[in-house]
Structure 1
Amino acid sequence: MLEVIGLVKKYGKDNAVNDISFSLQGGEVVGLLGPNGAGKSTTMKCIVGLLRKTAGEIYIGGHDHLSVEAKRFFSYIPETPSVYDLLTVMEHMQFIAQAYHVDNWKEKAEKLIEIYDLGDKKDKLGRDLSKGMRQKVSICCALLPDPQLLFFDEPMIGLDPKAIRNTKKLFKELKEQGKTILVSTHLIDSVESIADRIMIMKTGNIVGNDTIENLKTQMIGDDSSLEDLFLELTKDE
């Protein structure tokens, strides 16, 4: 579903992402962990085409990541939600539905709006929404076209506890449907219960890429926590 080969992103002489390679299979939830500045968001933005990569190849569904065919496969939820100031919540849904040719979009939109408690906000303009509400609208818009691949960059920040629980539940449902999800976060407990595999980044490199159990066994022992594993792999030398 996703293949990243030798991805490099430079800012001047500095490597923000340093020649990394990985792949994601269908029906897999992968947590991308790392401290601030590790290169998580940069990696994700290069994959979805918001940043121009310095080197490497990226394929989504077998297509070059910048092609229209690839863009039909995925949705991206950024860390800072961006909505249109003068569109209502429901108009956001209509806009996405028309852009992606979604059939029966109103029924799907109503279901998503109910999940995220946006029923009383349907007619509110984007400029009048709080950050948490904008995040909810962003997630609903991403889910409406029923993409095969979803990129979530810090999806839990700004969400209330109920929305966080519902988002985790959605992840599990999407996985059961065969969808592929890459979740970038530094909130370790938000992915521990949902991820099949984790990738840990440090200073632009992937320093761990396996199931949580396998990484624990290899690195620090089975009785330790994911937090212990994370701190061990990202500690300063």
Structure 2
Amino acid sequence: MLEVTGLVKKYGKQNAVNNISFSLAGGEVVGLLGPNGAGKSTTMKCIVGLLRKNAGEIFLGGHDHMTVEAKKLFSYIPETPHVYDLLTVREHLQFIAQAYGVKNWQEKAEALMDLYELSDKQDKLGRDLSKGMRQKVSICCALLPDPQILFFDEPMIGLDPKAIKNTKKVFRDLKEQGKTILVSTHLIDSVETIADRIMIMKDGNIIGNDTLANLKSNFGAEGDSSLEDLFLELTKDE
């Protein structure tokens, strides 16, 4: 569903992403972990077309990532949620529904707003929403078109505990529907229980890419080691 080959992104002479390759299959939830500056957000922004890559190829569902066909397949939830100041919560969903040609969108929009406790705030303008509320609107807008691939960049930041729990359930439901999810996060425990595979980045390189059990085995971690223990060991400064 997603194929990344030889991706390079430079800022000046510095490689933010250093010739990485990986793929994601349908129905797979992959956690993308790494310390600050590892290249996680840069990688995701290159995939969705917000940053221009310096080298490499990216295909979504067999289509070049910059084509309209590819863009119809995915939704992207950025780390900093962006909303329109003068659109209400409901109007955001209506705008996305019209942009993507979602039929009978009202019922699905109501269900999403109910899930994220936005129903009583659906007439509030974007400029009046807190960061957490903006994040909820961003997630609802991403889910409304029923995309095949979802890219979440730090989706849990700013969410309250109930919304975090609901988002984890959304991940599991999407996986059961055969959707593909790439989620970048610093909250390691938020992906440990839902990710089929873990990719760990450091200094623009992928230093681990496997199931948690295999990563533990390959790097000699103890059986009762947590993903956090493994992550800290792999990303520590030499």
- With the shorter chain as reference, the TM-score category is over 0.9
Q: What letter matches 1:116 in structure 2?
A: Y
Equivalences for residues 68-79 of structure 1 within 5 A? 68-79=68-79
Equivalences for residues 167-182 of structure 1 within 5 A? 167-182=167-182
Q: What letter matches 1:29 in structure 2?
A: V
The number of residues matched between the two structures is 237
Q: Which runs of 5+ in 1 are unaligned?
A: none
TM superposition shift of 1:186: 1.4
The separation in 1 between residues aligned to 2:141 and 2:226, in whole angstroms, is: 34
- Structure 1 length-normalised TM: 0.99
Instruction: Give the aligned partner of residue 129 of structure 1.
Output: 129
Q: Deviations over 1:159-197 (max 9, x none)?
A: 000000000000000000000000001111110011000
The separation in 2 between residues aligned to 1:234 and 1:186, in whole angstroms, is: 13
Instruction: Give the aligned partner of residue 51 of structure 1.
Output: 51
Q: Which runs of 5+ in 2 are unaligned?
A: none
TM superposition shift of 1:221: 2.6
RMSD: 0.5
Instruction: Give the aligned partner of residue 138 of structure 2.
Output: 138
The separation in 2 between residues aligned to 1:92 and 1:74, in whole angstroms, is: 18
- Structure 2 length-normalised TM: 0.99
Q: What letter matches 1:38 in structure 2?
A: A
Instruction: Give the aligned partner of residue 195 of structure 2.
Output: 195
Give secondary structure in 2 for the equivalent of 1:158.
Answer: coil
For the pair 1:34 / 2:34, whether they are aligned, the reply is yes
Q: What letter matches 1:232 in structure 2?
A: E
Give secondary structure in 1 for the equivalent of 2:87.
Answer: coil
The separation in 2 between residues aligned to 1:224 and 1:23, in whole angstroms, is: 26
Instruction: Give the percent of matched residue pairs that are identical in Structure 1 and Structure 2.
Output: 83
The separation in 1 between residues aligned to 2:137 and 2:39, in whole angstroms, is: 26
The separation in 1 between residues aligned to 2:185 and 2:215, in whole angstroms, is: 18
Give secondary structure in 2 for the equivalent of 1:75.
Answer: strand
List, as ranges, runs of 4+ consecutive aligned residues in structure 1 with deviation greater than 3 Å: none
The separation in 2 between residues aligned to 1:213 and 1:55, in whole angstroms, is: 32
The separation in 1 between residues aligned to 2:171 and 2:224, in whole angstroms, is: 26
